[in-house]
Structures are given as structure tokens and as C-alpha cells.
Amino acid sequence: MTTIEHWINGSLTQGAATATQPVFNPATGAEQAQVVLGGGADVDAAVRAASAAFETWAESSLTQRTQVMFNFRQLLVEHEEELGRIISAEHGKTVDDSRGEITRGREVVEFACGLGDVLKGSFSDQVSRGVDVHNFRQPLGVVAGITPFNFPAMVPLWMHPIAIATGNTFILKPSERDPSAANFIADLYQKAGLPDGVFNVVHGGKPAVDAILTHPGIKAVSFVGSTPIAKYVHEQATAHGKRVQALGGAKNHAVVLPDADLEFAANHITAGAYGSAGERCMAISVAVAVGDAADGLVEILERKAREVKVGPGDQPGTDMGPLVTKAAQERVENAVGTAAAQGATVVVDGRDLKIDGHEEGFFTGPSLLDHVTTEMQAYKEELFGPVLAIVRTDTLDEAIDLINANPYGNGTALFTASGEAARRFQRNIHIGMIGINVPVPVPMSYYSFGGWKDSLIGDSPIHGPEGIRFYTRPKVVTTRWPQQSQQVSAGFNFPTSN
């Protein structure tokens, strides 16, 4: 049985961990490895390694740092298939979907490769007689990331490339459900020329998280996960003087107007709802059918849901793999049953699906629920599974009010042929990321990712310009270089531009 260990100061180590947890193959239900569960001592060892590395890494040239990122980016390309299969084996998503997440994460590495331009400061000449002002940004020190199971490569890649390229050192606490991708990436960083101690991995559960949130040597914490945990992370880390990025859960709506191409809309909503088995914080979990669009949309969505091919993630032609754990499978299937009991129409029932040769796998098929109301559990809760709820409204304005009343504000989409409707929607909706005829509006790496309301705790989105700001702090320098022969009298009044 393979044991997955921490990566601290450039090498694998069990550290002080005495407990382990099983890592399953979701397609078979079989245990395939054990991961060590670290705690305070392991976090402290990682902080000591990262602190020592920071002394030299922060003083390295920007050219040296970006060269490591160029090398790392190339290694991600060369090892994409291998890393994709590692992710698929522990998460359950298809290998194609795994490669897709690596590609989107690699875009942040490419953004980090260009930090020479982004980190340029500004200079103001002769603000007063013989006085100039300029500014620049410096790294914080040791920073940490706590990341979820659903994107074991992409979400960490939203964090550590920018943190490292700006001169920080990094400690990653990945999900213990699919931990191997983190160690694989640590090895790629070492091959890319990153000095030991700059990137570290500590595996574990809540004890490791709490140690990160309270350790005085960690200056900032980035987190992606559920809203209750995001609130906890924000509260604990800020109470211990740290900067915090805390991204929470979601309930993403796609609105379909009667003038939309229903076949186009249904095709993209199906992919957005059932891709990666719905285990995405940007998955479409609610389709809002407006007016006459409803019956036709449901008819096409039913057909497309039944066409989704469910199977092992490494099997060619598979559209959707299993859920990550048995508990996740049971939670999602129970939610479908509860929706039916509360009055929803189960148009497509994905429960009790068995895949030949993988009967013990954590599979559930796509479920489609119609006539869902905002009072139903299937609407109010983030199910994090392949369940699409249809809510019907009479008008676009009613749909906007419905979405704005939801406590989450991560992403939303509108399918329409009307520019006026699209403009009204994007201006009036209280959501952080919006797609117009785009189902899953995850922005490119040179923009920042972050929702509103309970989807973002605090005010720090992730990657892009906000990522640069988060992992650095500014200095402003005012200088005067008088001629040696010139005597300059000091004044006791507050300085002005005169």
C-alpha cells in the first residue's frame, strides 16, 4: 500500500505524522493509498524550511524567478497526461477533464512568467524642488494555501505560481481525498530549478488547517472551499494577523430567455451542470427558464441528460465519472429523493446507477428536476453533484430578482439573442462573474476570480491583478539628492509641493 507523505524542504517525509487516512479510487470504491495526516509539528517544520528559503528567494532576481516559471510551465505541458491520470484516479473525473484543469491552471503560470511587466512601479519626477517619488512592491514572506478536492491541480495553481514569482515561499495543504497531484507538482518545481523550501506540501485535516491559521510565521492564507469553512478560515486567520483570501460555495444560475437558441443553450447547460459530476464551484446547478422557453428547454435538457455517458474516468468516451466519495454519492441521491418528496418533478433520475465491472464505484447518473421552487432543499443547498434544477419565471426581471435573493454570488449565465436583455442582466445582477451565452464564466488568468455575497468572504479575489496585490505589499519612496555644495535648510512645517 502506497503511503503519500509530506513534501518539506525539497524531499518527501512522514514528519511527525502518526495517523493516516485512506485514499480511494472512486471508480472502483477500492482503497489505493494511505495519506499521512500532519499537524502542528509538520506545519512548523514546513514554516521553518520556507522561512529559511525566503531569505534568499526574496532577494533573487525577477529574471531568475520567471525563468523557473518558464521551466515549470514546460514541465506541466510535458507531463500533462501523467498528471491528468493521477487526478482522474483519485478524484474520479475523466482524464480529458483533468487535462482541462491542468491547462486552465497553467494559464496562471503563464501570467506569472510575465510579472516583469506587471510588477513595474511608477515614478514621479520633481514633485517638489529636487524631490522625486517612486513606488514598488515586495513579497510578504511565508504564505499558505488550503485547497479543495474538486480541482487538485488547478486551484493550487491559482495560488502558488503568483506567490512564488513575486518572491514569497509557499506551503500547500491540499485535500486529503486526492493528495497525489500536490506532490507531483512539487517534484516538477524541483526539476524546474526552484530552490528547496520555496514550495512545501503538508497533508492533513483540521489539525493541519488550524496550525496554518494560527502559526505566527505565516503571513497570508488563501482558501477555496465551502462557505462555512471559508468563514472559519477568514475569522481565525485574520484574528492571528494574516491576510486572507477565502472563496466559498455557490449556487450558479443559468437564465434562458425565449429568444435564445434552445438547442445551443441546453447543450452548454448540460455540460455546465454535469461536467466533472457537478463537483465544481462554478457548475450550473439551476436553470431559470423564462416564459415560453420552459417546456422546450426541459424537453431538450431531458434528451441531453440521458445522452451523458457515465463511466470510469480513464475509459475513452466517458463524459462523466463517479463522485469523489461514497458519502458524496449518498448525499446527492438523498437530495434527489427529498426534492421529489417536496414536490419537484424528477424528469431524469440518476440514482442507483451501476456500471458493469465497477459496481462498487461511487457512481450516480445525471438528475434533472423540474418545477423546483426556491423553498425546496434542492434549490437552497449546494449539492455539489450532477443535479440540475429547473425554476420557471415569467420575466427576465423576475429571474434577476430570484438570483439576487440567493445568498451565493459566484457565477451566473444568460442565454439570449437580445443585447438589451444582456446589458440589463449584467448591470443589475448581484454576481461576481457573468457569462453571456457562456455557461461557466471562469475568467482568464489575467483577470481575477471571485464572487460576491457568501461566495467570497472578505474582499480578496484570487489570481490576476488581485493575486499580485494579495501576495505583495507596497513601498513608496520619496528622495532628494542635493548638490554637495548646496545647503538645504530643514523645515518644521508639514511638507507641501511648493
360 residue type, one letter: E
C-alpha cell at 80: 500533462
| Residue 281 annotated to the active site | yes
CB 145 within 8 A of CB 164: no
CA 257 to each of CA 84, 129, 279, 420, 442: distance values in angstroms, whole numbers, following the listed order:
37, 62, 26, 12, 22
- Between CA 93 and CA 86 the distance in angstroms is 10
Active site residue: 113, 281, 320, 328, which one? 281
Residue with cell 512548523: 44
Query: For residue 28, what is its C-alpha cell?
Result: 472502483
Which bin fits 82, alpha (ψ -120 to 50), beta or left (φ > 0)? Answer: alpha
With cell 474516468, the residue in question is 313
3-state SS track over the chain: CEEECEEECCEEECCCCCEEEEEEECCCCEEEEEEEECCHHHHHHHHHHHHHHHHHHCCCCHHHHHHHHHHHHHHHHHCHHHHHHHHHHHHCCCHHHHHHHHHHHHHHHHHHHCHHHHCCCCEEEEEECCEEEEEEEEECCEEEEECCCCCCCHHHHCCHHHHHHCCCEEEEECCCCCCHHHHHHHHHHHHCCCCCCCEEECCCCHHHHHHHHHCCCEEEEEEECCHHHHHHHHHHHHHCCCEEEEECCCCEEEEECCCCCHHHHHHHHHHHHHHHHHCCCCCEEEEEEECCHHHHHHHHHHHHHHHCCECCCCCCCCCECCCCCHHHHHHHHHHHHHHHHCCCEEEECCCCCCCCCCCCCCCCCCEEEECCCCCCHHHHCCCCCCEEEEEEECCHHHHHHHHHHCCEECEEEEECCCHHHHHHHHHHCCCCEEEECCCCCCCCCCCCECCEECCEECCCCECHHHHHHHHEEEEEEEEECCCCCCCCCCCCCCCCCC
Residues with active-site annotation = 281
